Amino acid sequence: MNNDNQAFLTQLFEEDIYLILKDDVNHLEENAVAEIKTNPVALPEKKVEAVESLTVVNFLGQNKKQILIILSNQGNDICTASNLDFLTKILNAIKLSLDDVALINESGFDSKKHLLPPYQQLVSFGAASFLTAQSMATPTAKYMTSKTLLHADSIEMVQADVTLKKQLWGALQQMFL
């Protein structure tokens, strides 16, 4: 490097300036590659856990109007024949059919395996523990939508008590008619 260039560079930079020749650069690169080959970097191992995909719980009906009905204490069935008959009468009274709703059994729902069918309105018959468990697992507020919930006594109790039938009828009228 000539003297004029050196003088110019010293005016621009206060730090020491070193001249590295092309042969020196090639030698440095060879040493760096050799060091990488002899001392490989250990990457942490990542464990991949199998995640089960959630499926929608089995339900009766077609859920055309996104109305979820939850029954409790039905055993392995979603709904017993006598309860289904009573429920069909209730649905007809509020101008709905089984095609409009999704009917599930509380005991057949496992939150670790199942998703609820989509719903805007929920009617629960004796499934208080289910509703409590679901409210504790509610997503954050930004995901909340407006949903109407109605909790009644078990369907067997409503079927056997005229007062409970009247109370249910009043609530269903407000909710659906």
How does pLDDT run across 127-144, given as a tens digit for each residue?
A: 766 665 555 444 444 444
Instruction: Kindly state whether residues 30 and 82 are assigned to the same domain.
Output: no
Identify the domain containing residue 164 by its residue range. Answer: 57-176
pLDDT of residue 107: 84
Instruction: Kindly state whether residues 30 and 70 are assigned to the same domain.
Output: no
pLDDT of residue 55: 87
User: pTM for the full model?
Assistant: 0.64
Beta bridge partners of 26: none
Nearest CA among 88, 91, 145, 139 for reference residue 120: 145
Instruction: Kindly state whether residues 7 and 77 are assigned to the same domain.
Output: no
Whether residue 108 lies inside any domain: the answer is: yes
Task: Report the C-alpha gap between 39 and 140 in whole angstroms.
Answer: 48
Whether residue 109 lies inside any domain: the answer is: yes
Split into its structural domains, the chain has a count of 2
Instruction: Kindly state whether residues 80 and 161 are assigned to the same domain.
Output: yes
pLDDT lower than 50: segments of the chain: 136-144
Q: Write down how long the chain is.
A: 177
CB neighbours of 81 closer than 8 A, spacing ≥ 6?
none
47: helix, strand or coil: coil
